[in-house]
Chain A
Amino acid sequence: MDAGIKRKIFLRSFLIQAGWNDQRMQNMGFAFAIYPALAALYKGRELCAGMKRHLGFFNTHPFMAGFALGLAARLEEQGALSGQPHDTARVEAIKSAVAPPLGAIGDRFFWAALRPASLSISLLALWALGLRHLTHPPEEMWRFQTSFGAGELLVGLAAGLAVYNGIAIWVRWKGISYGYQCGAGGSCGLDFVNWQGMIRKARLAGFCATVLLIAMKLIVFWRLKMPAALHGHDALAYLLAPPAMCAAFFTTRSGKHVAQVYGAVICICIIAFALAY
Protein backbone atom coordinates (compact mmCIF):
# COMPACT_ATOMS: atom_id res chain seq x y z
CA MET A 1 0.00 0.00 0.00
CA ASP A 2 1.61 3.26 -1.06
CA ALA A 3 1.47 6.55 0.83
CA GLY A 4 -1.17 8.03 -1.46
CA ILE A 5 -3.61 5.20 -0.84
CA LYS A 6 -2.92 5.29 2.89
CA ARG A 7 -3.63 9.03 2.94
CA LYS A 8 -6.91 8.55 1.05
CA ILE A 9 -8.01 5.74 3.40
CA PHE A 10 -7.06 7.91 6.38
CA LEU A 11 -9.12 10.88 5.18
CA ARG A 12 -12.08 8.68 4.31
CA SER A 13 -11.86 6.93 7.69
CA PHE A 14 -13.20 10.13 9.28
CA LEU A 15 -16.52 9.16 7.67
CA ILE A 16 -16.45 5.56 8.93
CA GLN A 17 -19.65 6.15 10.92
CA ALA A 18 -21.50 7.93 8.13
CA GLY A 19 -24.55 5.90 7.20
CA TRP A 20 -24.55 4.13 10.59
CA ASN A 21 -27.54 1.78 10.60
CA ASP A 22 -28.97 -0.79 12.96
CA GLN A 23 -28.68 -3.69 10.55
CA ARG A 24 -25.00 -3.54 9.53
CA MET A 25 -23.78 -0.55 11.57
CA GLN A 26 -20.62 0.94 10.00
CA ASN A 27 -20.73 -1.03 6.73
CA MET A 28 -21.30 1.97 4.44
CA GLY A 29 -18.50 3.98 6.02
CA PHE A 30 -16.15 0.99 5.90
CA ALA A 31 -16.84 0.33 2.21
CA PHE A 32 -16.39 4.04 1.48
CA ALA A 33 -13.05 4.14 3.34
CA ILE A 34 -11.59 0.95 1.81
CA TYR A 35 -12.46 2.03 -1.76
CA PRO A 36 -9.02 3.58 -2.63
CA ALA A 37 -7.24 0.31 -1.72
CA LEU A 38 -9.64 -1.75 -3.84
CA ALA A 39 -9.54 0.68 -6.75
CA ALA A 40 -5.76 0.24 -6.90
CA LEU A 41 -6.14 -3.56 -7.10
CA TYR A 42 -9.20 -4.13 -9.28
CA LYS A 43 -11.07 -2.66 -12.20
CA GLY A 44 -14.61 -3.06 -13.54
CA ARG A 45 -16.72 -5.96 -12.27
CA GLU A 46 -13.94 -7.19 -9.96
CA LEU A 47 -13.93 -3.81 -8.23
CA CYS A 48 -17.70 -3.94 -7.81
CA ALA A 49 -17.42 -7.45 -6.35
CA GLY A 50 -14.65 -6.25 -4.04
CA MET A 51 -16.80 -3.41 -2.76
CA LYS A 52 -19.73 -5.79 -2.17
CA ARG A 53 -17.46 -7.94 0.02
CA HIS A 54 -17.17 -5.00 2.45
CA LEU A 55 -20.85 -4.14 2.68
CA GLY A 56 -21.48 -6.72 5.38
CA PHE A 57 -21.84 -6.05 9.11
CA PHE A 58 -18.99 -4.12 10.66
CA ASN A 59 -18.74 -2.22 13.93
CA THR A 60 -15.82 -1.00 15.95
CA HIS A 61 -14.67 2.19 17.61
CA PRO A 62 -14.22 4.86 14.90
CA PHE A 63 -10.65 5.74 15.96
CA MET A 64 -9.64 2.07 16.00
CA ALA A 65 -11.12 1.40 12.55
CA GLY A 66 -7.73 2.21 10.99
CA PHE A 67 -6.38 -1.14 12.18
CA ALA A 68 -9.27 -3.02 10.55
CA LEU A 69 -8.99 -0.96 7.35
CA GLY A 70 -5.27 -1.67 7.08
CA LEU A 71 -5.87 -5.34 7.71
CA ALA A 72 -8.67 -5.54 5.13
CA ALA A 73 -6.47 -3.76 2.56
CA ARG A 74 -3.74 -6.36 3.19
CA LEU A 75 -6.18 -9.27 2.81
CA GLU A 76 -7.49 -7.85 -0.45
CA GLU A 77 -3.95 -7.39 -1.73
CA GLN A 78 -3.03 -10.97 -0.83
CA GLY A 79 -6.20 -12.23 -2.53
CA ALA A 80 -5.56 -10.22 -5.70
CA LEU A 81 -1.92 -11.34 -5.95
CA SER A 82 -2.71 -15.01 -5.34
CA GLY A 83 -4.80 -15.23 -8.50
CA GLN A 84 -7.26 -17.51 -6.70
CA PRO A 85 -11.00 -16.77 -6.36
CA HIS A 86 -11.62 -14.52 -3.38
CA ASP A 87 -12.51 -16.16 -0.07
CA THR A 88 -15.22 -13.72 1.03
CA ALA A 89 -16.04 -15.77 4.13
CA ARG A 90 -12.43 -15.52 5.34
CA VAL A 91 -12.37 -11.72 4.95
CA GLU A 92 -15.69 -11.46 6.80
CA ALA A 93 -14.48 -13.80 9.56
CA ILE A 94 -11.23 -11.90 10.12
CA LYS A 95 -12.99 -8.52 10.17
CA SER A 96 -15.57 -9.91 12.60
CA ALA A 97 -12.79 -11.25 14.82
CA VAL A 98 -10.79 -8.02 15.12
CA ALA A 99 -13.62 -5.46 15.32
CA PRO A 100 -15.12 -6.27 18.77
CA PRO A 101 -11.87 -6.22 20.82
CA LEU A 102 -10.73 -3.05 19.05
CA GLY A 103 -14.15 -1.53 19.76
CA ALA A 104 -14.00 -2.50 23.42
CA ILE A 105 -10.56 -0.93 23.86
CA GLY A 106 -11.56 2.20 21.93
CA ASP A 107 -14.71 2.66 24.01
CA ARG A 108 -12.78 2.33 27.25
CA PHE A 109 -9.88 4.52 26.21
CA PHE A 110 -11.40 7.24 24.02
CA TRP A 111 -14.98 7.51 25.27
CA ALA A 112 -14.65 6.55 28.94
CA ALA A 113 -11.17 7.91 29.76
CA LEU A 114 -9.72 10.39 27.26
CA ARG A 115 -12.91 12.35 26.51
CA PRO A 116 -13.76 13.13 30.17
CA ALA A 117 -10.07 13.70 30.92
CA SER A 118 -9.83 16.25 28.11
CA LEU A 119 -12.90 18.01 29.54
CA SER A 120 -11.16 18.19 32.92
CA ILE A 121 -8.07 19.65 31.25
CA SER A 122 -10.22 22.25 29.46
CA LEU A 123 -12.01 23.18 32.69
CA LEU A 124 -8.74 23.51 34.54
CA ALA A 125 -7.31 25.67 31.75
CA LEU A 126 -10.43 27.84 31.72
CA TRP A 127 -10.16 28.23 35.49
CA ALA A 128 -6.50 29.17 35.24
CA LEU A 129 -7.35 31.73 32.55
CA GLY A 130 -10.05 33.37 34.65
CA LEU A 131 -13.43 31.61 34.25
CA ARG A 132 -14.59 31.39 37.84
CA HIS A 133 -18.27 30.56 37.32
CA LEU A 134 -19.74 27.65 35.42
CA THR A 135 -23.21 29.18 35.81
CA HIS A 136 -24.40 32.76 35.87
CA PRO A 137 -23.17 34.23 39.11
CA PRO A 138 -25.16 36.68 41.25
CA GLU A 139 -24.70 40.26 40.10
CA GLU A 140 -22.27 41.18 42.84
CA MET A 141 -19.92 38.40 41.75
CA TRP A 142 -19.57 39.48 38.13
CA ARG A 143 -16.42 41.41 38.96
CA PHE A 144 -14.51 38.16 39.38
CA GLN A 145 -14.72 37.33 35.71
CA THR A 146 -14.62 40.70 33.99
CA SER A 147 -11.15 39.97 32.62
CA PHE A 148 -12.32 36.75 30.93
CA GLY A 149 -12.71 37.06 27.16
CA ALA A 150 -13.12 35.10 23.94
CA GLY A 151 -9.37 34.60 23.58
CA GLU A 152 -9.04 32.94 26.97
CA LEU A 153 -12.10 30.86 26.23
CA LEU A 154 -10.71 29.57 22.96
CA VAL A 155 -7.34 28.75 24.52
CA GLY A 156 -9.03 26.85 27.36
CA LEU A 157 -11.27 24.82 25.06
CA ALA A 158 -8.44 24.23 22.58
CA ALA A 159 -6.25 22.76 25.34
CA GLY A 160 -8.65 19.84 25.85
CA LEU A 161 -9.32 19.41 22.12
CA ALA A 162 -5.58 19.38 21.32
CA VAL A 163 -4.88 16.59 23.80
CA TYR A 164 -7.83 14.53 22.59
CA ASN A 165 -7.39 15.02 18.85
CA GLY A 166 -3.61 14.67 18.98
CA ILE A 167 -3.93 11.15 20.32
CA ALA A 168 -7.02 10.22 18.28
CA ILE A 169 -5.56 11.33 14.93
CA TRP A 170 -2.24 9.65 15.68
CA VAL A 171 -3.99 6.33 16.43
CA ARG A 172 -6.10 6.63 13.26
CA TRP A 173 -3.06 7.34 11.06
CA LYS A 174 -0.68 4.80 12.55
CA GLY A 175 -3.43 2.20 12.83
CA ILE A 176 -3.74 1.84 9.05
CA SER A 177 -0.06 0.88 8.56
CA TYR A 178 -0.05 -1.22 11.70
CA GLY A 179 -3.12 -3.19 10.61
CA TYR A 180 -1.65 -3.60 7.14
CA GLN A 181 1.64 -4.93 8.51
CA CYS A 182 0.14 -7.32 11.06
CA GLY A 183 -1.87 -9.20 8.42
CA ALA A 184 -4.29 -11.88 9.53
CA GLY A 185 -1.87 -13.58 11.87
CA GLY A 186 -1.18 -10.89 14.49
CA SER A 187 -3.28 -9.41 17.24
CA CYS A 188 -3.77 -6.41 15.00
CA GLY A 189 -3.86 -3.27 17.10
CA LEU A 190 -4.34 -4.87 20.49
CA ASP A 191 -0.57 -4.70 21.04
CA PHE A 192 -0.12 -1.34 19.29
CA VAL A 193 0.54 0.37 22.63
CA ASN A 194 -0.03 -0.62 26.24
CA TRP A 195 -3.74 0.22 26.11
CA GLN A 196 -4.31 -0.74 29.72
CA GLY A 197 -1.57 1.64 30.84
CA MET A 198 -2.89 4.42 28.57
CA ILE A 199 -6.40 4.02 30.03
CA ARG A 200 -4.99 4.17 33.56
CA LYS A 201 -2.90 7.28 32.83
CA ALA A 202 -5.73 9.14 31.08
CA ARG A 203 -8.12 8.42 33.94
CA LEU A 204 -5.58 9.45 36.54
CA ALA A 205 -4.71 12.71 34.74
CA GLY A 206 -8.39 13.62 34.37
CA PHE A 207 -9.16 12.62 37.94
CA CYS A 208 -6.33 14.77 39.35
CA ALA A 209 -7.38 17.75 37.20
CA THR A 210 -11.00 17.47 38.37
CA VAL A 211 -10.12 17.11 42.03
CA LEU A 212 -7.77 20.10 41.76
CA LEU A 213 -10.52 22.14 40.12
CA ILE A 214 -13.05 21.25 42.82
CA ALA A 215 -10.50 22.07 45.54
CA MET A 216 -9.70 25.46 44.03
CA LYS A 217 -13.38 26.31 43.59
CA LEU A 218 -14.00 25.43 47.24
CA ILE A 219 -11.05 27.52 48.44
CA VAL A 220 -12.17 30.57 46.45
CA PHE A 221 -15.73 30.10 47.62
CA TRP A 222 -14.64 29.79 51.25
CA ARG A 223 -12.36 32.83 51.18
CA LEU A 224 -14.32 35.26 49.03
CA LYS A 225 -17.96 34.40 48.67
CA MET A 226 -19.07 32.55 51.76
CA PRO A 227 -20.61 35.58 53.53
CA ALA A 228 -22.60 36.65 50.46
CA ALA A 229 -23.63 33.11 49.59
CA LEU A 230 -25.52 32.45 52.78
CA HIS A 231 -28.17 35.05 52.05
CA GLY A 232 -31.15 34.96 49.74
CA HIS A 233 -31.95 32.31 47.12
CA ASP A 234 -28.33 31.26 46.74
CA ALA A 235 -28.27 29.81 50.23
CA LEU A 236 -30.37 26.86 49.03
CA ALA A 237 -27.97 26.17 46.16
CA TYR A 238 -24.99 26.10 48.50
CA LEU A 239 -26.83 23.95 51.04
CA LEU A 240 -27.93 21.51 48.37
CA ALA A 241 -24.57 21.25 46.61
CA PRO A 242 -22.67 18.96 49.06
CA PRO A 243 -25.35 16.23 49.41
CA ALA A 244 -26.17 16.51 45.71
CA MET A 245 -22.50 16.03 44.84
CA CYS A 246 -22.35 12.90 47.01
CA ALA A 247 -25.49 11.59 45.30
CA ALA A 248 -24.05 12.39 41.86
CA PHE A 249 -20.78 10.68 42.68
CA PHE A 250 -22.38 7.45 43.87
CA THR A 251 -25.04 7.49 41.14
CA THR A 252 -22.36 7.71 38.44
CA ARG A 253 -20.19 5.17 40.20
CA SER A 254 -23.06 2.69 40.24
CA GLY A 255 -23.51 3.05 36.48
CA LYS A 256 -26.60 5.28 36.51
CA HIS A 257 -26.81 8.75 34.99
CA VAL A 258 -26.17 12.01 36.82
CA ALA A 259 -29.21 13.47 35.03
CA GLN A 260 -31.37 11.61 37.56
CA VAL A 261 -29.77 13.58 40.39
CA TYR A 262 -30.32 16.84 38.48
CA GLY A 263 -34.00 15.91 38.17
CA ALA A 264 -34.18 15.27 41.92
CA VAL A 265 -32.48 18.63 42.62
CA ILE A 266 -35.08 20.45 40.50
CA CYS A 267 -37.92 18.72 42.39
CA ILE A 268 -36.34 19.59 45.76
CA CYS A 269 -35.85 23.21 44.71
CA ILE A 270 -39.44 23.55 43.52
CA ILE A 271 -40.78 22.06 46.76
CA ALA A 272 -38.43 24.20 48.88
CA PHE A 273 -39.43 27.41 47.11
CA ALA A 274 -43.11 26.52 47.25
CA LEU A 275 -42.96 25.86 50.99
CA ALA A 276 -40.29 28.17 52.33
CA TYR A 277 -40.23 31.37 50.32
Chain B
Amino acid sequence: MIGGIAAVSAAAAALELDSVQAGQFLFSRPSVAGAIFGIMGGDFLSGVQLGLCMELLTIDQVPVGGYVPPSGVVGAACAFALHRWAGFDSGYSFLLGFILAKLYPFVEIKMRQERSSWNARLESATETDASAAGGWVAKALAQQAALVFVFVFSGICLAVCAGGAAWLAMPAKIKPAFMTAYRVAPWLGLAALTAALLPRRGN
Protein backbone atom coordinates (compact mmCIF):
# COMPACT_ATOMS: atom_id res chain seq x y z
CA MET B 1 0.00 0.00 0.00
CA ILE B 2 2.72 2.51 1.01
CA GLY B 3 4.78 1.49 -2.02
CA GLY B 4 1.80 2.03 -4.32
CA ILE B 5 1.03 5.42 -2.79
CA ALA B 6 4.70 6.44 -3.11
CA ALA B 7 4.75 5.33 -6.76
CA VAL B 8 1.59 7.28 -7.59
CA SER B 9 2.98 10.33 -5.74
CA ALA B 10 6.21 10.12 -7.75
CA ALA B 11 4.28 9.81 -11.01
CA ALA B 12 2.12 12.79 -9.99
CA ALA B 13 5.27 14.81 -9.25
CA ALA B 14 6.64 14.06 -12.73
CA LEU B 15 3.33 14.73 -14.47
CA GLU B 16 2.65 17.98 -12.61
CA LEU B 17 5.87 19.40 -14.09
CA ASP B 18 4.18 19.16 -17.48
CA SER B 19 1.26 21.33 -16.41
CA VAL B 20 3.31 24.49 -15.83
CA GLN B 21 7.06 24.19 -15.78
CA ALA B 22 8.06 21.80 -18.55
CA GLY B 23 6.46 20.98 -21.85
CA GLN B 24 2.75 21.62 -21.43
CA PHE B 25 2.05 18.59 -23.64
CA LEU B 26 -1.12 17.92 -21.63
CA PHE B 27 0.25 14.68 -20.22
CA SER B 28 -0.77 16.41 -17.00
CA ARG B 29 -4.36 16.33 -18.22
CA PRO B 30 -6.17 14.50 -15.37
CA SER B 31 -7.70 11.96 -17.74
CA VAL B 32 -4.25 11.01 -19.04
CA ALA B 33 -2.72 11.13 -15.56
CA GLY B 34 -5.64 9.07 -14.20
CA ALA B 35 -5.08 6.43 -16.87
CA ILE B 36 -1.38 6.26 -15.96
CA PHE B 37 -2.19 5.94 -12.25
CA GLY B 38 -4.80 3.30 -13.12
CA ILE B 39 -2.30 1.22 -15.08
CA MET B 40 0.25 1.59 -12.27
CA GLY B 41 -2.30 0.50 -9.67
CA GLY B 42 -3.80 -2.31 -11.72
CA ASP B 43 -7.26 -0.72 -12.07
CA PHE B 44 -7.04 1.44 -15.16
CA LEU B 45 -10.79 1.90 -15.65
CA SER B 46 -11.15 3.48 -12.18
CA GLY B 47 -8.12 5.64 -12.91
CA VAL B 48 -9.47 6.97 -16.18
CA GLN B 49 -12.98 7.49 -14.81
CA LEU B 50 -11.74 9.43 -11.77
CA GLY B 51 -9.37 11.39 -14.01
CA LEU B 52 -12.03 12.23 -16.57
CA CYS B 53 -14.43 13.44 -13.87
CA MET B 54 -11.64 15.49 -12.28
CA GLU B 55 -10.85 17.05 -15.64
CA LEU B 56 -14.48 17.80 -16.45
CA LEU B 57 -14.91 19.63 -13.13
CA THR B 58 -11.71 21.67 -13.53
CA ILE B 59 -11.73 22.35 -17.28
CA ASP B 60 -13.35 25.76 -16.81
CA GLN B 61 -10.39 27.00 -14.76
CA VAL B 62 -7.49 28.21 -16.88
CA PRO B 63 -4.02 29.32 -15.70
CA VAL B 64 -4.27 32.88 -16.98
CA GLY B 65 -1.63 35.29 -15.69
CA GLY B 66 -0.66 34.38 -12.16
CA TYR B 67 -3.85 32.46 -11.39
CA VAL B 68 -3.18 28.93 -10.19
CA PRO B 69 -6.12 26.61 -10.91
CA PRO B 70 -6.78 23.43 -8.90
CA SER B 71 -4.32 20.71 -9.84
CA GLY B 72 -6.09 17.95 -11.72
CA VAL B 73 -3.02 15.71 -11.44
CA VAL B 74 -2.93 16.04 -7.66
CA GLY B 75 -6.70 15.44 -7.49
CA ALA B 76 -6.60 12.39 -9.75
CA ALA B 77 -3.60 10.89 -7.93
CA CYS B 78 -5.16 11.33 -4.50
CA ALA B 79 -8.61 10.13 -5.61
CA PHE B 80 -7.19 7.05 -7.29
CA ALA B 81 -4.90 6.12 -4.41
CA LEU B 82 -7.69 6.56 -1.86
CA HIS B 83 -9.99 4.37 -3.94
CA ARG B 84 -7.42 1.71 -4.79
CA TRP B 85 -5.49 1.34 -1.56
CA ALA B 86 -7.64 2.84 1.19
CA GLY B 87 -10.77 1.11 -0.10
CA PHE B 88 -12.97 4.22 -0.11
CA ASP B 89 -15.78 4.15 -2.65
CA SER B 90 -15.25 6.15 -5.84
CA GLY B 91 -17.60 8.95 -4.83
CA TYR B 92 -15.92 9.57 -1.48
CA SER B 93 -12.41 9.21 -2.96
CA PHE B 94 -13.31 11.65 -5.70
CA LEU B 95 -14.55 14.24 -3.19
CA LEU B 96 -11.40 13.95 -1.05
CA GLY B 97 -9.21 14.12 -4.16
CA PHE B 98 -11.08 17.16 -5.38
CA ILE B 99 -10.58 18.92 -2.02
CA LEU B 100 -6.84 18.21 -2.17
CA ALA B 101 -6.73 19.46 -5.78
CA LYS B 102 -8.31 22.72 -4.59
CA LEU B 103 -5.82 23.02 -1.71
CA TYR B 104 -2.73 22.52 -3.86
CA PRO B 105 -2.70 26.06 -5.38
CA PHE B 106 -2.04 27.56 -1.92
CA VAL B 107 1.23 25.62 -1.79
CA GLU B 108 2.11 26.45 -5.39
CA ILE B 109 1.51 30.17 -4.78
CA LYS B 110 3.83 30.10 -1.74
CA MET B 111 6.50 28.40 -3.83
CA ARG B 112 6.21 31.01 -6.58
CA GLN B 113 6.53 33.80 -4.02
CA GLU B 114 9.57 32.16 -2.51
CA ARG B 115 11.13 31.77 -5.97
CA SER B 116 11.06 35.53 -6.47
CA SER B 117 13.97 35.76 -4.07
CA TRP B 118 16.06 33.75 -6.56
CA ASN B 119 16.15 36.62 -9.04
CA ALA B 120 18.79 38.67 -7.24
CA ARG B 121 20.98 35.59 -6.77
CA LEU B 122 20.54 34.57 -10.40
CA GLU B 123 21.53 38.05 -11.56
CA SER B 124 24.70 38.05 -9.50
CA ALA B 125 25.53 34.50 -10.64
CA THR B 126 25.03 35.52 -14.29
CA GLU B 127 27.68 38.26 -13.94
CA THR B 128 30.35 35.57 -13.87
CA ASP B 129 28.61 32.54 -15.42
CA ALA B 130 26.45 33.15 -18.49
CA SER B 131 24.86 29.70 -18.31
CA ALA B 132 23.78 30.09 -14.68
CA ALA B 133 20.09 30.22 -15.67
CA GLY B 134 20.25 26.52 -16.59
CA GLY B 135 21.15 25.55 -13.04
CA TRP B 136 18.32 27.63 -11.58
CA VAL B 137 15.85 26.15 -14.05
CA ALA B 138 16.94 22.64 -12.99
CA LYS B 139 16.61 23.66 -9.35
CA ALA B 140 13.08 24.97 -9.99
CA LEU B 141 12.05 21.68 -11.63
CA ALA B 142 13.49 19.64 -8.76
CA GLN B 143 11.82 21.88 -6.19
CA GLN B 144 8.44 21.58 -7.89
CA ALA B 145 8.67 17.79 -8.23
CA ALA B 146 9.71 17.38 -4.60
CA LEU B 147 6.93 19.63 -3.39
CA VAL B 148 4.25 17.80 -5.39
CA PHE B 149 5.54 14.44 -4.17
CA VAL B 150 5.42 15.53 -0.53
CA PHE B 151 2.01 17.17 -0.97
CA VAL B 152 0.41 14.16 -2.68
CA PHE B 153 1.97 11.57 -0.38
CA SER B 154 1.15 13.42 2.83
CA GLY B 155 -2.26 14.46 1.47
CA ILE B 156 -3.18 10.83 0.80
CA CYS B 157 -1.95 9.72 4.23
CA LEU B 158 -3.86 12.55 5.91
CA ALA B 159 -6.98 11.82 3.88
CA VAL B 160 -6.80 8.13 4.79
CA CYS B 161 -6.72 9.04 8.51
CA ALA B 162 -9.13 12.00 8.55
CA GLY B 163 -11.37 10.72 5.76
CA GLY B 164 -11.45 7.24 7.29
CA ALA B 165 -12.37 8.62 10.70
CA ALA B 166 -15.10 10.79 9.19
CA TRP B 167 -16.40 7.80 7.20
CA LEU B 168 -16.63 5.67 10.34
CA ALA B 169 -18.35 8.43 12.29
CA MET B 170 -20.82 9.18 9.51
CA PRO B 171 -24.38 7.81 9.77
CA ALA B 172 -24.65 4.82 7.43
CA LYS B 173 -27.67 6.17 5.60
CA ILE B 174 -25.87 9.23 4.21
CA LYS B 175 -22.82 7.31 2.91
CA PRO B 176 -24.36 6.61 -0.54
CA ALA B 177 -24.76 10.38 -1.03
CA PHE B 178 -21.14 10.73 -2.23
CA MET B 179 -21.55 8.07 -4.89
CA THR B 180 -24.77 9.70 -6.07
CA ALA B 181 -23.08 13.08 -6.35
CA TYR B 182 -20.18 11.42 -8.19
CA ARG B 183 -22.62 9.95 -10.73
CA VAL B 184 -23.96 13.46 -11.39
CA ALA B 185 -20.44 14.95 -11.71
CA PRO B 186 -19.79 13.97 -15.38
CA TRP B 187 -23.08 15.55 -16.40
CA LEU B 188 -22.07 18.75 -14.61
CA GLY B 189 -18.73 18.64 -16.36
CA LEU B 190 -20.28 18.12 -19.78
CA ALA B 191 -22.65 21.03 -19.19
CA ALA B 192 -19.71 23.20 -18.11
CA LEU B 193 -17.73 22.09 -21.14
CA THR B 194 -20.63 23.02 -23.42
CA ALA B 195 -20.88 26.43 -21.77
CA ALA B 196 -17.14 26.99 -22.01
CA LEU B 197 -17.10 26.14 -25.72
CA LEU B 198 -20.35 27.76 -26.78
CA PRO B 199 -19.22 30.39 -29.28
CA ARG B 200 -19.67 33.89 -27.93
CA ARG B 201 -20.47 36.97 -29.92
CA GLY B 202 -17.23 38.20 -31.44
CA ASN B 203 -15.49 34.82 -31.04
* Chain B residues, Cβ within 8 Å of A32: 133-134, 137
Which chain A residues numbered 254 to 277 have a C-beta less than 8 Å away from chain B? 257-259, 261-262, 265-266, 269-270, 272-274, 277
In angstroms, Cα B136 to Cα A277, docked, is 58
Q: Which residue of B lies closest to A236 (CB)?
A: B180
CA–CA, A155 and B172, complex, Å:
41
Taking the complex as formed, is A234 at the interface, i.e. its CB lies under 8 A from any CB of chain B? yes
Q: Which residues of B contact A199 (CB under 8 A)?
A: 203
Most chain B CB atoms below 10 A, which of A19, A31, A32: A19
Q: Is A80 an interface residue (CB 8 A)?
A: no
How many angstroms from the CA of A93 to the CA of B132 in the assembled complex? 24
Contact in complex: B180, A157 (CB < 8 Å)? no
Q: Which residues of chain A have C-beta atoms less than 8 A from B59's C-beta?
A: 115-116, 119
Q: Check B133 against A233 for contact (C-beta < 8 Å).
A: no
Judge if A213 is at the interface, Cβ distance under 8 Å.
Answer: yes
Task: Assess whether B118 is in contact with A19, with CB atoms less than 8 Å apart.
Answer: yes
Interface of A is mostly: helix
**A22–B115 alpha-carbon span in the complex (Å):** 8
Q: CB of A35 within 8 A of chain B?
A: yes
Whole-angstrom distance between the Cβ of B9 and the nearest chain A Cβ = 21
With both beta carbons as reference points, the residue of chain A lying nearest to B70 in the complex is identified as A259
B184-A249 in contact (CB<8A) = no
Which A residues between 15 and 35 are near B, CB-CB below 8 angstroms?
A: 15, 17-25, 27-29, 31-32, 35
Contact indicator B137/A25 (Cβ below 8 Å): no
Q: Closest chain A residue to B89 by CB distance?
A: A136
| Chain B, residue nearest A233 (CB) | B176
Contact of A262 with B140 at beta-carbon distance under 8 Å, contacts A19-B115, A245-B190, A252-B192 already known: no
Q: Are A47 and B130 in contact (CB-based, < 8 A)?
A: yes
Q: Report, as a range, how many residues of chain A touch the other chain.
A: 35 or more
Choice from A51, A134, A249 contacting B195 with Cβ under 8 Å:
A249
| Residues of chain A lying within 8 A (CB to CB) of residue B64 | 107, 111
In contact, B197 and A206 (Cβ under 8 angstroms): yes
Contact B198 A207 (CB under 8 A): yes
The size of the chain B interface, using a CB distance under 8 A, is 88
Of A32, A52, A120, chain B has the most CB atoms within 10 Å of the CB of: A32
Bound form: Cα–Cα A272–B194 in Å: 28
Query: Do A210 and B22 form a contact, CB below 8 Å, given A24-B119, A266-B177?
Result: no
Indicate with 1 or 0, residue by residue over B146-181, a CB within 8 angstroms of chain A CB atoms.
Answer: 000000000000000000000000010111111111
Cβ–Cβ contact A123 & B52, under 8 A: yes
* Any B CB within 8 A of the CB of A73: no
Q: Please indicate the chain A residues that have their CB under 8 angstroms from the CB of B184 in the complex.
A: 237, 240-241, 244, 262, 265
With A21-B118, A136-B90, A273-B173 already in contact, the answer to whether A210 and B130 are too (CB < 8 A) is no
Quote the shortest CB–CB distance from A160 to chain B (angstroms): 8
Contact in complex: B134, A119 (CB < 8 Å): no
Per-residue CB contact flags for chain B residues 120-141 toward chain A (1 = under 8 Å, else 0) read 0011001111111110110111
Instruction: Decide yes or no: A248 and B188 within 8 Å by CB, A51-B126, A116-B196 being known contacts.
Output: yes
B3 within 8 A of A: no
> Is the pair B180, A233 in contact by a Cβ cutoff of 8 Å?
yes
- B115 engages A20 (CB within 8 Å): yes
Are B62 and A62 closer than 8 Å at their CB atoms? no
Nearest neighbor of A23 in chain B, beta-carbon distance: B116
Contact, CB under 8 Å: A262 / B180: no
Residue of B nearest to A25 (CB): B66
Whole-angstrom CA separation of A50 from B56 in the bound complex: 44
CA distance A161 to B175 in the complex (A): 37
In the complex, are the beta carbons of B60 and A20 less than 8 A apart? no
Give the residue name and chain of the A residue nearest to B177 (CB).
A269
Q: In the complex the two chains form, is A203's CB within 8 Å of B199's CB?
A: yes
Q: Which residues of B contact A (CB under 8 A)?
A: 20-27, 29, 31-32, 35, 39, 44-46, 48-49, 52-53, 55-66, 70, 90, 95, 98, 102, 112-113, 115-116, 118-119, 122-123, 126-134, 136-137, 139-141, 171, 173-199, 203
30 pairs, A vs B, C-beta closer than 8 Å: A14-B24, A18-B137, A24-B116, A28-B122, A48-B127, A51-B132, A112-B196, A116-B59, A119-B31, A134-B56, A135-B182, A135-B183, A136-B90, A150-B39, A207-B197, A214-B190, A233-B176, A234-B183, A245-B187, A246-B191, A248-B189, A248-B192, A249-B192, A252-B195, A253-B195, A258-B192, A262-B188, A266-B178, A273-B174, A274-B171
